[in-house]
Amino acid sequence: MQTKQTQNKIISVVLAGNPNCGKTTLFNQLTGSKQYVGNRPGVTVEKRTGKVRSFLERDIYVTDLPGIYSLSPYTPEEIISRNCLLYDEPDVIINIVDASNLERNLYLTTQLAELAKPMVIALNMCDIVEKKGDIIDVGYLERQLGIPVIPISASRNTGIDQLIEKVVSLYDSGKYIIVKNIYSHEVDRSLREIENLFKEIQQNNNTHNRWTAIKLFEGDSVTWGHYKFTKAQKERINMYINKVCASKNTDCEMIIADERYKYICSVTQKAVTRKQPADFISISDKIDGIITNRILAIPIFFIIMLVIFIITFGAPGTFLRDSAQYLITDVFGNAIERILTALNTANWAKSLVVDGIIAGTGSVISFLPQIMLLFTMLSLLEESGYMSRAAFIMDKPLQYIGLSGKAFVPMLLGFGCTVPAVLATRTLENIKSKRMTIMLIPFMSCSAKMPVYMLLISYFFADKGFLVVFAIYLLGITAAILTALLFNNTALKGKKAPFVMELPPYHIPTLKSLKIHVAERMKDFMIKAGTILLGASILIWFLQSFDFSFKMVSPDESMLAIIGKFIAPVFSVCGFGDWRASVSLLTGIAAKESVASTLSVLYNGTSIANTFTPLSAFSFLVFILLYTPCIAALSAIHKEMKSAKWTAVTIIYQIFAAWLASALVFQVGTLILNLI
């Protein structure tokens, strides 16, 4: 150890580790944050910072970096993490290591150690190791690595206080890690020659000398481009590198990787005592033998989703929806109407509250328990580790349309909300794959569309609601596949991206994780209900109650009717040429839930059943599924596309696809019904 002077009172700490090592869980425990924790790569695509709440004596700020496997700048996550570690100069690095996958995790550890910064290893998931009956000699591991090691369990909140105490101790002592040599004599000699060259040319006066020398040895283009070497200096460095490569008869990057793993294996063989033999098949492996089976995997996935829809739109979900609807409409709505009548409130004011606010916003809120049930079941799949398998089994089908399983991750998020799903495409390295994925995400039915489905299902498909929603979801996936095939063979031709993914062990979801996940979704829903939907309900009531001279008229003579009758003919071929249905689609640009609230205000309940037929209602749902997402999603699409042209192409294509699919459904359906 060597000493440096430290003066700042604020301690900046970064969390670095592999995907699924428990980084974000630890971040939440330290800061009290409620960041989403997922079992797949790409959950953290940007660094996040929060203040440690438990160690009140000092100001400690923790930054959660994206999960990475190495510091090679190949992916967006690795670039973010590498730049933060190199250029933001954190005071202390906490390297989170999955104790149950020690060998794989220590590869990043050896790279971080070569940065020669104050560092502590948080040996996470020690409870899992204990449960398996394995033993890790923490003292031996600490001595061999030359880095403090603190056993913790982030999910159980154990060892966290000791970890922070060690961070503060390291900071106060001003000590940083002396890089331990882990390479053979020949490679080490070459690296030392490159390090000495820095002293001669005085380009590098920080503690990264060893790490920089290794990156130059590996042929890292970013590092080579960072330094302005003369031709003679480049020749000297290459001479040191080529000499080793020639003697070992392999490329320089492979030499470094091979020697790292030899060192890691030698350490873990003595540090870890395993209860089970190396060929032991765990319960998770046995389950995966069925869940990821090349024949059974996809049918199992669709069966699981169908069961979820049966529960959500069957008796349990319907009971929750009807109960909420009774409380909001029959109990609360009627009570408010009686109170307003007793107070001799003006008819327009009573209509605004009862027919506008309660009918519009209340109709959407009444679906909240049913949506909450759906989120809970999807969260159970996510927290159990199944969704990682879903991404894995979808890799091969996605390869046929020019994408990889990595694209399935943001597409899966699209079933929750389009905005974070589009932002998650930052994990995709290839710009063409990224743009294609962004174009497909809106076809994944987001939760905001659920109130519209539920509203029309309650009128026309009460007994078969789960089949209708299942068909809608399948149609969205089909539309995405056809879109990918179209663009993959035309405007977005490109090389298929490789997909590497770790499958975490199955585990029982914790109540805390489920609560955070579902509560965040419900919070977003209620914020929308209290802002966008409330405003939309009031605006729709006003526009359907007054004409352009601001005189109170019947809905058929209102401003909204005039606008609606102008655009309605476009949708006649789709089966919903009524002006009220057409106008509701416009409000959906603000928020998809607004379509349900608009329909409730304009049709005022039972008249929906007199305007739509089951076929036209299904055609309407198809249009809702496929057409342009909300303003917030469009903003995210424009931001991630990094192209106004491609944003415009996406919007126009989605509107056309929605109209075409809806028209086909209605026209073909009408033809079939006439033939029967």
CATH number of the domain encompassing residue 20: 3.40.50.300
Interval 71-94: pLDDT, tens: 876 666 677 788 888 777 888 999
From residue 527, alpha-carbon distances to 292, 367, 524, 532, 598 in Å are 39, 15, 5, 8, 18
The average pLDDT across 261-271 equals 89
Please tell me the least confidently modeled range out of 266-275, 281-290, 644-653. Answer: 281-290
The average pLDDT across 586-599 equals 78
Q: At what angle do helices 368-384 and 386-393 cross, to 10 degrees?
A: 80
Pairing of strands 11-17, 175-176: unpaired
Residue 290 lies in a domain: no
**161 and 197 share one domain:** no
Q: Which of 176, 193, 211 is the last residue of a domain?
A: 176
Is 392's pLDDT higher than 80? Answer: no
CATH number of the domain encompassing residue 199: 1.10.287.1770
**587 and 641 share one domain:** yes
User: Which residues in 157-204 belong to E strands, given as ranges?
Assistant: 175-176
What is the Cα gyration radius of the chain? 30
**148 and 192 share one domain:** no
- Residues 298 and 397: beta-carbon distance below 8 Å: yes
CA distance 577 to 562: 14
Please tell me the least confidently modeled range out of 142-151, 186-195, 543-552. Answer: 543-552
The residue behind tokens 């603000």 is: 590
Is 511's pLDDT higher than 50? Answer: yes
Phi and psi, residue 102, nearest 5°? -65, -45
Residue 479 lies in a domain: yes
User: Which of 35, 37, 41 is CA-nearest to residue 62?
Assistant: 35
**237 and 325 share one domain:** no
Token pair recorded at residue 79 = 């670039």
User: Which residues on adjacent β-strands are paired with residue 49?
Assistant: 63
User: Which of 100, 137, 44, 62 is CA-nearest to residue 423?
Assistant: 44
CA distance 426 to 442: 16
Pairing of strands 272-273, 149-151: unpaired
From residue 300, alpha-carbon distances to 272, 295, 382 in Å are 37, 9, 16
Residue 354 lies in a domain: yes
Residue 283 lies in a domain: no
Is 43's pLDDT higher than 60? Answer: no
- Residues 377 and 311: beta-carbon distance below 8 Å: yes
**197 and 104 share one domain:** no
Residue 289 lies in a domain: no
Pairing of strands 48-51, 11-17: unpaired
- Residues 78 and 68: beta-carbon distance below 8 Å: yes
**What DSSP string describes 475-504?**
HHHHHHHHHHHHHHTTTT--PPPP-----P
pLDDT in the model for residue 622: 93
CA distance 418 to 431: 19
Please tell me the least confidently modeled range out of 140-154, 265-279, 408-422, 472-486. Answer: 408-422
Token pair recorded at residue 215 = 């990156």
- Residues 365 and 329: beta-carbon distance below 8 Å: no
Interval 202-239: pLDDT, tens: 555 555 778 888 888 888 877 787 777 778 888 888 88
Residue 292 lies in a domain: no
Is residue 168 exposed (0-12), middle (13-18) or buried (19+ Cβ within 10 Å)? Answer: middle
**489 and 418 share one domain:** yes
pLDDT band at residue 335, thresholds of 50, 70 and 90?
Answer: confident
CA distance 589 to 488: 28
User: Which of 672, 568, 671, 560 is CA-nearest to residue 620?
Assistant: 568
**163 and 197 share one domain:** no
pLDDT in the model for residue 1: 43
CA distance 601 to 544: 9
Q: Which tops the pLDDT comparison, 167 or 403?
A: 167
Question: What proportion of the chain, given as a percentage, has pLDDT over 70?
Answer: 82
Phi and psi, residue 76, nearest 5°? -55, -40
What's the total number of domains in the chain?
A: 3
pLDDT in the model for residue 532: 64
Is 42's pLDDT higher than 50? Answer: no
User: Which of 62, 34, 46, 35 is CA-nearest to residue 160?
Assistant: 62
pLDDT in the model for residue 561: 81
pLDDT band at residue 404, thresholds of 50, 70 and 90?
Answer: low
pLDDT in the model for residue 44: 47
From residue 578, alpha-carbon distances to 37, 409, 569, 634, 658 in Å are 45, 38, 8, 27, 17
**Helix or strand run (H / E) with residue 543:** helix 534-545
**89 and 17 share one domain:** yes
CA distance 219 to 213: 10
Interval 416-453: pLDDT, tens: 777 777 777 766 666 777 888 888 888 888 877 888 88
User: Which of 373, 386, 413 is CA-nearest to residue 507?
Assistant: 386
The residue behind tokens 């070992």 is: 248
**Which range, 138-152, 487-501, 633-647, has the best average confidence (pLDDT)?**
138-152
CA distance 120 to 443: 45
Q: How far apart are the first and last CA of the chain?
A: 85
Please tell me the least confidently modeled range out of 12-26, 232-246, 479-493. Answer: 479-493
Q: Which of 121, 141, 176 is the last residue of a domain?
A: 176
Residue 280 lies in a domain: no
**210 and 331 share one domain:** no
Expressed as residue numbers, the domain containing 345 is 297-503+510-675
pLDDT in the model for residue 619: 93
Token pair recorded at residue 104 = 């794989």
**472 and 607 share one domain:** yes
Q: Which of 147, 176, 205 is the last residue of a domain?
A: 176
Is 621's pLDDT higher than 90? Answer: yes
**170 and 193 share one domain:** no
pLDDT band at residue 2, thresholds of 50, 70 and 90?
Answer: very low
**52 and 25 share one domain:** yes
Phi and psi, residue 17, nearest 5°? 180, 175
Residue 285 lies in a domain: no
